[in-house]
Structure 1
Amino acid sequence: MGKVTGFMEFERLEEGYRPVDERLKHYKEFVVALDDEQAKVQGARCMDCGTPFCNNGCPVNNIIPDFNDLVYRQDWKNAFAVLDSTNNFPEFTGRICPAPCEAACVLNVNDDAVGIKSLEHAIIDRAWAEGWVKPRPAKHKTGKKVAVVGAGPAGMAAAQQLARAGHDVTLFEKNDRVGGLLRYGIPDFKMEKSHIDRRVEQMKAEGVVFRTGVVVGAAKDALGKGSKVTNLAKETVTPEQLQAEFDAVLLTGGAEQSRDLPAPGRDLDGIHFAMEFLPQQNRVNAGDKVKGQLRADGKHVIVIGGGDTGSDCVGTSNRHGAASVTQFELMPMPPEEENKPLVWPYWPYKLRTSSSHEEGCEREFAISTKEFMGEKGKVTGLKTVHVEFKDGKFVEVPGTEKTYKADLVLLAMGFVSPVSPVLEAFGIEKDARGNAKATVDFNGGYATNVPKVFAAGDMRRGQSLVVWAIREGRQAARAVDEFLMGFSDLPR
């Protein structure tokens, strides 16, 4: 694949970033994509490795060596055809996926992996620019009707696949716009929302009907603490209505219940979930007016949680003009380089520094918040202590207590389960983590205990990646198609 000796001749080329002082002035994407020649060189590095672990490292099983080779040969149109065959939305994953495919790259055993994500990004952007991304409406309709509940990446992928199979698909979304966490969780500087909008237009042309502002199976005011919904839905639809009107129902909502931190002083003003903070800025960017927007201007911000959501809070706070930003992580600081012989081809445990961290952030590891301090009902600081993991639990390290000044505290410690009571309304059994219980077996995959009701995405598997959501949406679409027709030509 690629150039036979390319992996020995060429070094990995990284996508670039606009300067920090420039990108902090706006909320637009700032990644500098590879040009054609750089992409060709990156494609040339793909080895004829025999067993492409990257293909299995990728949750949607992208046919990576093939599109790498086609980019090397500058056959962009066929590279897009290969990429499009396995991934409904490469412009999403090419921007925000952490690229487990690269961790699994054979070249990554003792060198730098092929820049697969950057090539995916280049291919799909070229495809949109050239007009190769077109609607693919079904040639024949089945007469079957499917309701998909939740218009995040899992629901969008499932709806598109089912529409292409000839079913009449209605996609329900409780927010006022389509996209789920992509729309109201991921900051615009990581992924501009125009990428979602043009996919929505493509899906409409393929026959998908979108109904936004609709909560399924819950009262309008029962959306849960920490929900990313900031504008309450305008309409409620009951499970009985969906089951009567549609031949199958697929639940693809997210795992949106934010993990809380019940330390003393938690009720002080100025302590918020990340998903109260991030969606508001995205709405402002979209032109909405948000009354009483949470902002970090001139404030000392503490972000509790060291993952991607926490990093997004860091980047947004810096763009607001925060006086300082500090990010806490309970786990100890990982090594800067992974032990490749030990972990390859799996996701490595190592220190990851995001573009938001590079824009300005102090990072504290192995630290726990003991108490929120405040005056006149408002948070003014935190009492912390360093911890270490012993005998299966975290224990405090004596003499490490410290106080941090804080005007705004953002809780970004992950998500634990679906937030709205849609599962209870349908009577769906849950697993031990509170997610919808449904297997991924070939026979009857993604089916719940309720007849003709299926579940996929984060609502089924728990908090995960966008690429896993797309995979589950595609696989669930095939399962629903088989249920309705007795067989399916959709790829699994």
Structure 2
Amino acid sequence: MVKTAFIDIKRTEPKEAHPRERLKNWNEYQQNLSDSDLKSQSSRCMDCGIPFCQIGMDLNRATTGCPLYNLIPEWNELVYQGKWYEAYQRLAKTNNFPEFTGRACPAPCEGSCTAGLVSSPVAIKSIEQAIIDKAFDKGWVNVRTPKKRTGFRVAVVGSGPAGLAGADQLNQAGHDVTVYEREDRIGGLLMYGIPNMKIDKQVVGRRVELLKKEGIAFITNTNIGKDITMAELRKQYDAVLLCTGAAKHRELLIEGRELKGIYPAMTYLTASTKHLLNPESTHPEISAKGKKVIVIGGGDTGADCVATALRQGCQSVVQFGKHGRLPNERTADNPWPEYPQVFKMEYAYKEAAAVFGKDPREYHVSTKRFIGDGGGQVKALETVAFESYFDEKGNKQLRENHEEKQTWAADLVLIAAGFEGAEDDVFENLNVENNNQCIKTKKNRFETALQGVFAAGDARKGQSLIVWAIQEGRKAAEEVDAYLSRKV
């Protein structure tokens, strides 16, 4: 590496299609950097004695570093040397699906990059995506068939990143793995929860086809507990791994919620992607075309709703956030290596600004009631403002200021207020214990109280990042493999 590259060379962001141009289609909006740019960007890595980019932990209620413990300095060095195949080998050693994380992960590794202390962080995410994309283009990502089969059968319930990672690891260990998915396509949130402009569904399908060739069986349109009972599943398989996700959305139980035109964000995003993938459908089940759209919730899912509504041709779009605008730089209570809580213009907001001339986000907003048009359809909503104050312990808090009321016109409202955990029918149908809306497992373990039944991912941990889901799937697979080895 060049010793002072992190100072001498400026960080370069991935190229993006112009906001107005990319709104004409559903293609991925980011483009890989050139090989020469990637070489100079990888040279900015400091090859730290203690690479904080790899620490992978929750710090101050946010992820710091990479939970997959990716060998980031190693593959940065190899990219700098032009040894792309070797870089791919290092990347694949810790990450089952770099093509997903390189596109959809918020890159906590960059937030804890040491170069960010004195300059800007290394473009780790861009380099990661470039490595795996080149590996697929060059034909380096080949079918890996286990040399020996153990004869044990494992069922994996749920085909999101945790389920797919667990299935991949267990299959490579030689077990016969079947993945069950209640939707019509494999991929979980990768397929229906993240819009196509962030992860092209052909990228998901390409990996699924590879897993099939490696011996994993996939069964769709099957809801465990309804189409097949948990008892039947346990009887048919030697072990069961539950990766059902945390799909119970946080509701707004306020006046007017029963009105038409109000949907959970994930319902809307799923309908949009299903329409995109079904050429026979003429209209999506839920469309923002010509409508005044309000998104309630300031996170990534809300941003994806904004971007989707714009592509569908909405008349206007506003996104409500409970908290205030983030600062432009780290504050004293958000030091490195914590994930930087700073203001960003994400892809959706750049697009909205290009169309409507301003950032669609409104801050310190609390929705109090929905207003109907007299015929059962939402036509507006009423809000009050949040204001910040310090409690007796000196902690910053929020409270509503009912003197600042406002009415907003809306005929499509999307609730993106986060997730509470696994859906209620998971506990009702699968006979597993409920631990604060997550599947309860033994302490620091993945096995549930049911012998041979394990849980991983958001279903066990609660809503989190794609990198945590893959890590959970990998670690759960280790525990399942150890359990099966004791049965020999």
TM-score bracket, normalised by the shorter chain, equals over 0.9
Q: Does residue 406 in structure 1 map to residue 410 in structure 2?
A: yes
The residue type equivalent to 1:177 in the other structure is: R
The question of whether the paired residues in 1 share the 8 Å contact of 2:7 and 2:119 is answered with: no
Q: Distance in 1 between matches of 2:269 and 2:224?
A: 24
Measure the CA separation in 2 of the matches of 1:409 and 1:315.
Answer: 14
Structure 2: distance between partners of 1:345 and 1:242: 44
Q: Which residue of 2 aligns with 1:175?
A: 183
2:268 is aligned to 277
| Structure 2 runs not aligned, ≥5 long | 56-64, 353-358
- Of 373, 378, 382, the residue aligned with 2:371 is 373
Give the structure 1 partner of residue 62 of structure 2.
none
Residue 317 in 1 paired to residue 309 in 2? yes
| Mean CA deviation greater in 347-356 or 207-216 | 347-356
Give me the whole-angstrom Cα distance separating, in 2, the residues matched to 1:89 and 1:247: 26
Q: Matched residue pairs, number?
A: 466
Maintained 8 Å contact 2:242/2:453: yes
Task: Tell me if the contact between 1:381 and 1:404 (Cα under 8 Å) persists in the aligned partners.
Answer: yes
TM score, norm. by length of structure 1: 0.92
Q: Is the 8 A contact 1:138 1:165 kept in 2?
A: yes
In the TM superposition, what is the alpha-carbon distance from 1:428 to its structure 2 partner?
Answer: 1.5
Going from structure 1 to structure 2, the CA distance change for 1:92 and 1:195 (only over 3 Å counts) comes to same
Q: Which residue of 1 aligns with 2:197?
A: 189
**Could you state the TM-score of these two structures normalised by the residue count of structure 2?**
0.92
Paired amino acid for 2:420 = V
- Is contact 2:150-2:175 (8 Å) kept? yes
1:21 is displaced (CA, Å) by 1.4
- The match for 2:4 is 5
Correspondence 1:115 to 2:123: yes
Please report how far the alpha carbon of residue 398 of structure 1 lies from its aligned counterpart in structure 2 after TM superposition: 4.7
CA displacement at 1:487 relative to structure 2: 11
Structure 1 pair 424–341 and aligned structure 2 pair: CA distance change class (3 A):
closer
In 2, the alpha carbon distance for the partners of 1:87 and 1:291 equals 37
Query: After superposition, what is the alpha-carbon deviation per residue over 1:88-146, rounded to whole angstroms, capped at 9, x for unaligned?
Result: 00000000100000011111113200000000010000000000001111101111110
Q: Which of 338, 341, 357 in structure 2 is aligned with 1:349?
A: 341
Query: Aligned partners of 1:387 and 1:40: how far apart in 2?
Result: 47
Q: CA deviation at 1:149?
A: 0.4
Gaps of 5+ in 1: 219-235
Q: Which residue of 1 aligns with 2:419?
A: 415
Q: Tell me how far apart the structure 2 counterparts of residues 260 and 212 of structure 1 sit (CA, whole Å).
A: 28
Are residues 386 and 76 of structure 1, via their aligned partners in 2, closer, same or farther at CA, if it must alter by over 3 Å?
Answer: same
SS, match of residue 369 in structure 2: strand
How far apart are 1:292 and its partner, in Å? 6.2
- What does residue 472 of structure 1 align with? 472
Opposite residue 464 of structure 1, the aligned amino acid is S
Aligned 8 A contact 1:109 1:341 in 2: no
Identity, in percent, stands at 45
- Hey, what's the Cα distance between the residues in 1 that align with 2:331 and 2:411? 39
> 240, 244, 255: which one pairs with 1:264?
255
1:4, 1:48 within 8 Å by CA — same for their partners in 2?
A: no
Q: Which residue of 1 aligns with 2:58?
A: none
1:195-244 Cα deviation digits (max 9, x unpaired):
111111111111101011110013xxxxxxxxxxxxxxxxx011111111
**Runs ≥4 residues deviating over 6 A:** none
Distance 2:210 2:42 in 1: 29
1:266, CA displacement in angstroms? Answer: 1.0
Among 78, 89, 93, the alignment partner of 2:101 is 93
The change in CA–CA distance for 1:335 and 1:440 in structure 2 (over 3 A counts) is farther
Contact persistence 2:275–2:283 (CA under 8 A): no
